[in-house]
Structure 1
Amino acid sequence: MKLVIFDCDGTLVDSQHLIVACMNEAFASLGRPAPAREATLSIVGLSLAEAFAALTSADDTDIPMLVEAYKGAFHAQRQKPGHAEPLYEGAREVVEWLAGREIALGIATGKSQRGVRIVMTHHGLLDRFSTIQTADDAPSKPHPAMIEQAMAAVGARPEDTVMIGDTTYDMDMAHAAGVAAIGVSWGYHAPQALLRSRPHALVGAYEEVPLVLKGLWRA
């Protein structure tokens, strides 16, 4: 069984405006200055506690309150008219192409199960994914547990598994799990940073993904 695992934010969906807005609200709720936009985007992919620790410090006593404030802000934003976490161009087509070839698909994300299921249901893609691994189920990236659990869920071997993501956390997680890594250039970490994490390939558009996958599996 071949398995392709996608990150969510920054890889499948563009949620940067929502993430930044909720992060700003979380800090403001405690009367603290919000981090720079670039700093917020740099931690996308981590679970919330690890993300706030990276933006503040690991021993910051406000982290549990910041986490809860962020969750509340995110839920409130989702209720607003015009809320959108759009798919990146070509994402739907590649997901459907892979699903049509009986390749197992998974998601590994710092989002919660509830959050990722809401957004995938909104886009009509939830049933395309055989396994969804989140911050609710495993240690934060780059720990390999999400990938290891996804492989176990569908019966895939490391040599038949590929992780696709936009951050160094995704690339490092893939290496830790012993699977191939494809970096995407349209997400929240710069291509130069991704290259330092040694992806097996770096793509600039979704239309490149099928050919890269074929090459990896031939090799």
Structure 2
Amino acid sequence: MKLFVFDVDGTLVDSQHLIVAAQGVAFAEHGIAAPSRTESLSVVGLSLPQAFKRLVGEDGPVEGLSESYKRAFNVLRLDPSYEEPLFPGMGDLLARLHLRDDVRLGIATGKARRGVDRLIETHGWQGWFATTQTADDAPSKPDPAMLLQAMAEADARPDATVMIGDTTYDMAMAVSAGAAAVGVGWGYHPAGALFGAGAVTVVDDAKALADLFTGALRTGADGIAPV
């Protein structure tokens, strides 16, 4: 049995326009110049408090920015121009994987529980995931607690677990938890940074990821090699 744990933003879902816009509103409410797009996306994957600490420092209005961001996000997500589409092929990949008897699926994300529940309902993924870990359940990535909890809930060994994500935080979390770290090249951190944080490989599209999983199921998660 293999456990494949997916990050959400930047891995399954392209939410960058919504994230950047919500950050812009939050910073404007506090009279602070908004970060650049690159800076905004660099903290995707962290919990909101940790993300804003990175952007404004420990002494900044972290709590206020977090609350402003959540309000803005919940308003903007209702606007069709801020749609959060799945990345190409990822929905089909999950649909195939969840039918396999030798696979369990998981989510580990900096999103809140409410956001993950909404995502699952929107795409009809109810019952597909053996474990869903959110910012409400564990310390922020790259702390390994989120992935360790996922493995415990899914009854999976570290050497049978693969973490799939687009940020260095995902890769570092996987390494700390003893799982294989697989980066995706379509997200918010560059491939070089993912390799530097411990990625075994970085894939360019959903087909390459599916091929990688085929090899992992044949050999074992710790046997993943570049494709």
TM-score, normalized by length of structure 2?
0.93
Structure 1 contact 201–212 (Cα < 8 Å) conserved: no
Q: Residue 127 of structure 2: SS of its match in structure 1?
A: helix
- 1:2-50 deviations in Å (ceiling 9; x for gaps): 2100000000000000000000000001111100000000000000000
1:94: which partner in 2? 93
Between the aligned partners of 1:105 and 1:24, the Cα distance in structure 2 is 34
1:122: which partner in 2? 122
Give how far 1:83 is off: 4.1
1:150: which partner in 2? 150
1:77: which partner in 2? 76
User: 2:62 matched to 1:63?
Assistant: yes
Structure 2 contact 110–135 (Cα < 8 Å) conserved: yes
Between the aligned partners of 1:216 and 1:124, the Cα distance in structure 2 is 26
2:216: which partner in 1? 216
Give how far 1:181 is off: 0.8
Q: 16-25 or 120-129: which moved more?
A: 120-129
Q: Residue 104 of structure 1: SS of its match in structure 2?
A: strand
Could you tell me which amino acid in structure 2 is paired with residue 89 of structure 1? P
Between the aligned partners of 1:15 and 1:120, the Cα distance in structure 2 is 15
User: 2:188 matched to 1:201?
Assistant: no
Could you tell me which amino acid in structure 1 is paired with residue 129 of structure 2? F
Q: Aligned-pair RMSD on alpha carbons?
A: 1.2
Give how far 1:99 is off: 0.7
How many residue pairs were aligned? 218
Between the aligned partners of 2:40 and 2:126, the Cα distance in structure 1 is 27
Structure 2: any 5+ residue segments left out of the alignment? none
Q: 206-215 or 162-171: which moved more?
A: 206-215
Structure 2 contact 17–82 (Cα < 8 Å) conserved: no
- 1:97-127 deviations in Å (ceiling 9; x for gaps): 2111131101000000101111222122243
Structure 1 contact 85–119 (Cα < 8 Å) conserved: no
Between the aligned partners of 2:207 and 2:185, the Cα distance in structure 1 is 13
Structure 1: any 5+ residue segments left out of the alignment? none
- 1:120-139 deviations in Å (ceiling 9; x for gaps): 22122243112110110000
1:53: which partner in 2? 53
Between the aligned partners of 1:188 and 1:80, the Cα distance in structure 2 is 23
Could you tell me which amino acid in structure 2 is paired with residue 70 of structure 1? Y
Q: Runs ≥4 in structure 1, deviation > 6 angstroms?
A: none
Give how far 1:93 is off: 1.3
Give how far 1:82 is off: 4.7
Identical amino acids, percent of aligned pairs = 51
Could you tell me which amino acid in structure 1 is paired with residue 83 of structure 2? A
1:44: which partner in 2? 44
Could you tell me which amino acid in structure 2 is paired with residue 130 of structure 1? A
2:8: which partner in 1? 8
Judged with a 3 Å threshold, the aligned counterparts in structure 2 of structure 1 residues 65 and 90 are, in CA distance, closer, same or farther, namely: same
Give how far 1:200 is off: 1.2
2:159: which partner in 1? 159
1:30: which partner in 2? 30
